[in-house]
Amino acid sequence: MDIRQSCSPGETRGFDTTQLRTNYLIEDLFRAGEVSMTYSHLDRTVVGGVVPQAKPLLLKSEKQIGSPGFLDRREIGVVNIGGEGRVTADGTDYDLAWTDALYLPMGTADVAFSSTDAANPARFYFVSTPAHATHKAQKITADDAILLDLGTQSDANVRKLRQYIHPEVCASCQLVMGVTLIEDGSVWNTMPCHTHDRRSEAYLYFDMQPKTRVIHLMGEPQETRHLVVGNEQAILSPGWSIHSGCGTGRYGFVWSMAGDNQDFTDMDFVDMGDLR
């Protein structure tokens, strides 16, 4: 399990490209036949990727989790961005197609990931956060999610944002999770940008062509930095940082938040004229 420490705004101002990528970018998230995990000290969030092939893969605890079972004191959200697959949780099967999601609560003992077709494997992305109560396990499809049509063509940011793990859709302790897909001909996401010091966030960029890149903007509004991000790479975003991006082609991203509240609109917007 990779470990990422929290970094202050003061430290981050002095980071070069390598240091920015080392601290905030997860590059090698999906490995065939493996469960890959990164433990971030931003709200103790675990970000993972699972690519099952011929055999199912099990979700196992690690030393950093601090409990015998991975979900003894945690909850988890899973989104499939690959071929059709199945998550089996305590004997119950949940079949997940592309962009289907699954919420599993604290106390879930046994979790296994499998692919319907090993030649076109599922690619399960998951985010796990500490939990204090047990809620109901729930599969959420794109049709089940809350759909928000955002942006304008004149601003090149038309996008569809779907809220999957959200208080009005699926109860959770602190995890909020969803998927945003950028419309053809648009390039920007989350612009105008914002911060939310009460919550940290993670972005997984996906649905990109091999040569497509997203220029992800981060940092304090008056001290912005950038990361060049490829397909199926994830960004860790502290509460003090903006999180926005512009792509060279089609892309989408899975977003997740953890922290003090689950109020999606709890954002501190940044005026475009204040960005530096």
251 near 205, Cβ under 8 Å?
A: yes
Q: If you search the block for the tokens 């690959």, which residue do you land on?
A: 82
- Give me the sign of the Cα torsion angle 172, 89, 80, 138: negative
**Average pLDDT for 133-153:** 97
Domain ranges of the chain: 7-271
Position 84 scores a pLDDT of 98
Position 95 scores a pLDDT of 98
Whole-angstrom Cα distance, residue 186 to residue 152? 9
Nearest to 209 by CA among 249, 157, 245, 252: 249
Chain-wide mean pLDDT for the chain? 96
Nearest to 83 by CA among 110, 58, 114: 114
Whole-angstrom Cα distance, residue 105 to residue 108? 6
Please report, in range form, the residues annotated as the binding site for Zn(2+). Answer: 194, 196, 201, 243
Please state, as a whole number, how many other Cβ atoms lie within 10 Å of the Cβ of residue 167: 13
Per-residue pLDDT band for 64 (boundaries 50, 70, 90) equals very high
Position 267 scores a pLDDT of 85
Please state, as a whole number, how many other Cβ atoms lie within 10 Å of the Cβ of residue 267: 14
Token pair recorded at residue 44: 């103790």
Q: If you search the block for the tokens 């699972």, which residue do you land on?
A: 50
Position 218 scores a pLDDT of 97
Vertex 11, ends 267 and 29: CA angle to 5°?
70
Position 266 scores a pLDDT of 83
Whole-angstrom Cα distance, residue 196 to residue 64? 26
Per-residue pLDDT band for 117 (boundaries 50, 70, 90) equals very high
| β-bridge partners, 266 | none
pLDDT tens-digit profile of 10-58? 999 999 999 999 999 999 999 999 999 999 999 999 999 999 999 999 9
Q: Is the confidence at residue 105, as pLDDT, over 90?
A: yes
Share of the chain above pLDDT 90, in %: 94
pLDDT tens-digit profile of 188-244? 999 889 999 889 999 999 999 999 999 999 999 999 999 999 999 999 999 999 999
Share of the chain above pLDDT 70, in %: 100
Position 111 scores a pLDDT of 98
**Average pLDDT for 90-103:** 98
Please report, in range form, the residues annotated as the binding site. Answer: 194, 196, 201, 243
Phi-psi region at 178: left, alpha or beta (left = phi > 0; alpha = psi -120 to 50): beta
**CATH number belonging to the domain at 7-271, selected among 3.30.70.20, 2.20.25.90, 3.40.190.290, 2.60.120.10:** 2.60.120.10
pLDDT tens-digit profile of 229-268? 999 999 999 999 999 999 999 999 999 999 888 888 888 8
